[in-house]
Amino acid sequence: MDIIIVGAGLTGLTAAIRLAEGGARVRILEMAPLAGGRTRSFLEPTLNTWVDHGPHLLIGAYEATNKLLNDVHAAEYVHWQSALNLPLWEKDRGFFSLSTSQRLPFPLALMLATYRLPSHGISSVLSMLGIAKDLQFGKSAANAETVSQWVERLHLAPMLYQDFIEPLCLGAMNELPESANAASFKAVLDAAFANHQTARLGWFTRPLQQALIEPLCNKASLLGVEIITHCRVTHIQTEAGRHGKLITSSGELRCDTIVLAVPPNIRDQITGQTQATKPVPHRPITNIHMWFKEKFQLPAPIMGALATYGQWFFDVSQQHQNQYDYTHICAIISADNEQHDKAWKLNAVIGELRQMTGMKELTPFHHRMITVKAATHQVNPADKIEFEACMVDACEQPLPGEFPATIEAAVMRGEAASKQLLTIS
């Protein structure tokens, strides 16, 4: 079986490894100079160091991701909490966290952790119980129901919405609750809050290029996968529906099967589907990397910020075990539709960091702002495209109730594509 995968992101690399393990001949075509897609890093010239386009947070429920990391010997580059500890900051309440005790069964530990949050109490505990009841016994959310509508239906406490639902929705869905799909959000909650193991958080201890992409590429190469970069696919044709032909910037290529592992708009362009399909809605993410001469640490390697422009603050220096002579902080803004200019955005997160740390003169000596306009594609009830038998669609287009656009979803799409082809063969 001769297979060409279009796209060397996480989905494409996962599919390539699994297909090659199954005995297929695999080539990956990638138009960028490096593999990695949205999990790639870039070499920051000022500091001569690898920097992620955007840091990624893991949760223990990411079973497919954890298995893949173990298979490619990259698990050593992930640090896991022993139990759930979600650090938060709010201007009036300062630092606090949703922390569960392993000495208690997880449901009881979560209720106690909720009760102990400042400005919460029994109303938030009752709301958390309502969520648990709905996840286990409630009716399935309608395809079009939003997280906000779900929250209203369950009559959740306002403080739990502010401190728990909204931050998790932005982090997991890259959407505000007003537009995020409730069925998919419930799927994330159901998986993540099953037990202590699944609820804990994890992060990479090296830049993604070293911690994730290189181990994946090395594993693929050992299996005989050929990764061809700087190769743009301009058009795809099928021959009698049984073989694929790709027109690329490097020439014409043929194969038995094509796996599409690119953004949906690219898929539609190269397959000629642009007139037959509606564009898949997407959301941007802005990542603001800041480097400071002052050596300091946030109270935790990752902080969720409430009622701020910067929603998540990653202490990259702390995550990477303080191997630098400076402090590297990355502020993340999910679903960033803010119309202000870059100077306003930078000053906003610097001001929030000053409030967090109490360091009133804190100013970065260097920064890099990256806005990915189509960072994630929204959960969308639209019908999926039916392709010829020699083409497999592994593009990001989550349906209601499916995992949203996360690392786990990307790995799962790669696994599903490879399983489909190996089962057929």
Together in a domain, 349 and 396: no
Burial 116-125 (b: 16+ CB within 10 A, else e): ebeebeeebb
Residue 274 banded pLDDT, cuts 50, 70, 90: low
* Angle, CA of 386, 13 and 43, to the nearest 5°: 125
Q: Is the dihedral of CA 345, 351, 354, 355 positive or negative?
A: negative
Last residue in a domain, options 195, 227, 257: 195
Last residue in a domain, options 175, 195, 215: 195
With 80 as the cut, is the pLDDT of residue 314 above it?
yes
> Would you state the pLDDT for residue 276?
57
Lowest mean pLDDT, pick from 116-120, 263-267, 338-342: 338-342
Q: What is the CA radius of gyration of the chain?
A: 22
Which tokens go with 26?
């695999």
Together in a domain, 139 and 269: no
Contacts of 252 by beta carbon, 8 Å cutoff, 6+ apart: 245, 246
Together in a domain, 222 and 264: yes
**Rounded CA separation 77/41 (Å):** 15
With 60 as the cut, is the pLDDT of residue 386 above it?
yes
Lowest mean pLDDT, pick from 134-138, 328-332, 363-367: 134-138
Together in a domain, 301 and 370: yes
Q: What is the pTM of this model?
A: 0.92
Last residue in a domain, options 195, 222, 257: 195
Residue 49 falls within a domain, yes or no? no
59: exposed, middle or buried (C-beta count within 10 Å: 0-12, 13-18, 19+)? buried
Q: Amino acid letter at 240?
A: A
Residue 259 falls within a domain, yes or no? yes
Together in a domain, 103 and 187: yes
**Rounded CA separation 244/319 (Å):** 44
With 90 as the cut, is the pLDDT of residue 243 above it?
no
Residue-number span of the structural domain to which 230 is assigned: 2-40+206-280+380-424
Residue 62 falls within a domain, yes or no? no
Residue 301 falls within a domain, yes or no? yes
Count of residues making up the chain: 425
**SS3 readout for the chain:** CEEEEECCCHHHHHHHHHHHHCCCEEEEECCCCCCCHHHCEEEECCCCEEEECCCCEEECCCHHHHHHHHHCCCHHHEEECCCCEEEEEECCCEEEEEECCCCCCHHHHHHHHHHCCCCCCHHHHHHHHHHHHHHHHCCCCCCCCEHHHHHHHHCCCHHHHHHHHHHHHHHHHCCCCCCCEHHHHHHHHHHHCCCHHHHCEEEECCCHHHHHHHHHHHHHHHCCCEEECCCCEEEEEEECCCEEEEEECCEEEEECEEEECCCHHHHHHHHCCCCCCCCCCEEEEEEEEEEECCCCCCCCCEEEECCCCCCEEEEHHHHCCCCCCCEEEEEEEECCCCCCCHHHHHHHHHHHHHHHHCCCCCCCCEEEEEEEEEEEECCCCCCCCCCCCCEEECCCCCCCCCCCCCHHHHHHHHHHHHHHHHHHC
Residue 383 banded pLDDT, cuts 50, 70, 90: low
Count how many domains the chain has: 3
With 80 as the cut, is the pLDDT of residue 108 above it?
yes
Which tokens go with 153?
């239906």
Residue 60 falls within a domain, yes or no? no
**Rounded CA separation 11/415 (Å):** 8
Together in a domain, 162 and 178: yes
Residue 72 falls within a domain, yes or no? no
pLDDT digits (tens, 9 = 90+) for 225-239: 999 999 999 999 887
Together in a domain, 131 and 6: no
Together in a domain, 373 and 391: no
* Mean pLDDT along residues 304-319: 95
Together in a domain, 311 and 186: no
CATH of the domain at 404: 3.50.50.60
Residue 399 banded pLDDT, cuts 50, 70, 90: confident
The end-to-end CA distance of the chain, in Å, is 8
Together in a domain, 337 and 387: no
**Rounded CA separation 25/3 (Å):** 6
- Looking at the chain, the whole-number percentage of residues with pLDDT higher than 70 is 97
With 70 as the cut, is the pLDDT of residue 277 above it?
no
Residue 388 banded pLDDT, cuts 50, 70, 90: confident
pLDDT digits (tens, 9 = 90+) for 143-196: 789 999 999 999 999 999 999 999 999 888 888 999 999 999 999 999 999 999
Q: Amino acid letter at 183?
A: A
Together in a domain, 242 and 390: yes
**Rounded CA separation 170/164 (Å):** 10
> Would you state the pLDDT for residue 142?
65
215 within 8 A of 74, measured Cβ to Cβ: yes
Together in a domain, 390 and 268: yes
**SS3 readout for 126-160:** HHHHHHHHHHHHCCCCCCCCEHHHHHHHHCCCHHH
CATH of the domain at 299: 3.90.660.20
**Rounded CA separation 182/28 (Å):** 35
Residue 74 falls within a domain, yes or no? no
